[in-house]
């Protein structure tokens, strides 16, 4: 490895120094590249790809260098709280609609869905309670979820973000009772 490293070291130094303006950091990065390459040499698939592999390690090490140097600015507290409040409020309002919407399903689907989602009962316990096999209970809960989703989508338009549902708007006047 050492002889191969000596063959590529000058080119790698040039590559790194074009991307880093601190001469001391260039040496540190080259040292990190050598350590990573020598300790992970077993991952190299063929000797012919060594140069490209070293450049990839150098690139990743440069990116790590910039990530470590970059200070992270904290979000203002009022911004984070405000967004959380909007999402939390939408969830609370929507939660008020769940039980009535579940109750509108046929009892065959409402009961297992209520047990699984609102009461947190295991599917084995649902199967025992309803006199179904475990696979039958799982199927019933799955079908209940599909029917419930169809019912919700027919009733409301949802705004979905990274945290899930962040807002909703009833489509029909009878749905606005939620």
Residue 163 has a pLDDT of: 67
Mean pLDDT on 120-125: 91
Q: pTM to 2 decimals?
A: 0.45
Mean pLDDT on 155-172: 73
Tokens of 56: 């990839």
In this prediction, what percent of the chain has a pLDDT beyond 70?
78
pLDDT in tens, 46-90: 666 788 888 899 999 999 998 888 777 776 676 655 555 555 666
Domain boundaries, the chain: 2-69, 77-177
Q: Which of 89, 92, 93, 108 is nearest to 148 (CA)?
A: 108
Class of domain 77-177: mainly alpha
Per DSSP bridges, beta strands 164-170 and 156-161 are antiparallel
pLDDT in tens, 89-114: 666 666 676 788 888 889 999 999 88
**Chain-centre distance of CA 74, in angstroms?**
21
Q: In whole angstroms, how far apart are CA 20 and each of 17, 35, 141?
A: 5, 19, 57
Is 2-69 in CATH node 1.20.1050.10?
no
One-character DSSP codes across 114-144: IIIIIS---HHHHHHHHT--HHHHHHHHHHH
């Amino acid at each position: 490895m050492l002889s191969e490293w000596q063959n590529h070291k000058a080119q790698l130094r040039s590559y790194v120094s074009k991307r880093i303006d601190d001469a001391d950091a260039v040496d540190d990065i080259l040292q990190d590249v050598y350590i990573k390459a020598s300790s992970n040499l077993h991952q190299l698939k063929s000797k012919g790809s060594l140069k490209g592999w070293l450049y990839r390690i150098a690139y990743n090490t440069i990116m790590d260098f910039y990530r470590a140097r970059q200070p992270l600015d904290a979000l203002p507290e009022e911004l984070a709280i405000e967004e959380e409040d909007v999402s939390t409020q939408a969830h609370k309002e929507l939660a008020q609609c769940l039980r009535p919407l579940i109750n509108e399903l046929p009892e065959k689907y409402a009961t297992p869905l209520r047990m699984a989602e609102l009461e947190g009962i295991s599917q084995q316990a649902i199967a025992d309670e309803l006199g179904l096999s475990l696979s039958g209970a799982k199927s019933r809960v799955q079908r209940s979820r599909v029917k419930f989703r169809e019912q919700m989508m027919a009733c409301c338009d949802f705004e979905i973000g990274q945290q899930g549902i962040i807002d909703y708007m009833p489509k029909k006047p009878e749905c606005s009772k939620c």
